[in-house]
Structure 1
Amino acid sequence: MGESNGWFSKTATIAFFMGLLILLAGGCASQKGMSGEAANEGTDPNAPLYYDFGDVLVPREMKVDKNASFVFRTPGLSAGVLSMKGRVDGSSLIAFFESNMANDNWSLVSAFKSYRNIMLFKKENRWCVINITEKKMYTYLEIWVSPTIAGASPGLYK
Structure 2
Amino acid sequence: MAEVQGSLKASLWERDPVMASQTPISSRMVDWFLYNLPMLKEKVEESVPGATCMVTVVWARTNNTESKIERYAIKRAAVQSLIDVIEKGIKSLHPDQRKIYRLKYRRGFARSDIKKRLYLSSRTIDRRLAEIREALALYLQGVPESDMNEFWRILGND
TM-score normalised by L of structure 2 = 0.23
User: Whose radius of gyration is greater, 1 or 2?
Assistant: 1
User: Does 1 or 2 have the higher relative contact order (CA < 8 Å, sep 6+)?
Assistant: 2
Query: Which one has the bigger strand percentage?
Result: 1
TM-score normalised by L of structure 1 = 0.23
